[in-house]
Amino acid sequence: MTAKLNLPNRITLLRICLIPPIVVFLLYPSRESSFAAALMVMAASFTDWLDGHVARTKKQITTLGTLLDPVADKLLLVAALIPLVELHRVPSWMAVVLIGREVAVTGIRGISASHQLIIPAGTTGKYKMLFQMIALVALILDVKVAFVDFHLWGTLFLWVSMVLSIVSAVEYFLRFWEEIVLLDVH
| Model pLDDT for residues 137-148, shown as the tens digit of each residue | 999 999 988 889
For residue range 13-34, what is the model confidence (pLDDT) as tens digits?
999 999 999 999 999 989 999 9
Look at residue 12 and tell me whether its pLDDT is greater than 90: yes
What average pLDDT does range 101-128 have in this prediction?
86
Closest to 45 in 3D by CA, of 125, 130, 157: 130
How confident is the model over 122-180, as pLDDT tens digits? 899 889 999 999 999 999 999 988 889 999 999 999 999 999 999 999 998 998 888 77
Q: For the chain, list the domains and their CATH numbers.
A: 7-185 (1.20.120.1760)
SS3 call for 47: helix
Could you tell me the maximum CA-CA distance found in the chain, to the nearest angstrom?
Answer: 62
Q: What is the DSSP letter of 177?
A: I
Query: In sequence order, which ranges of 63-177 are alpha helices (DSSP H)?
Result: 63-86, 92-114, 123-141, 150-176
148 three-state secondary structure: strand
How far is it, in rounded angstroms, from Cα 9 to Cα 54? Answer: 10
Contact 140, 26 (CB under 8 A): yes
Model-level pTM? Answer: 0.88
Rounded distance between C-alpha atoms, residue 148 and residue 162, angstroms: 22
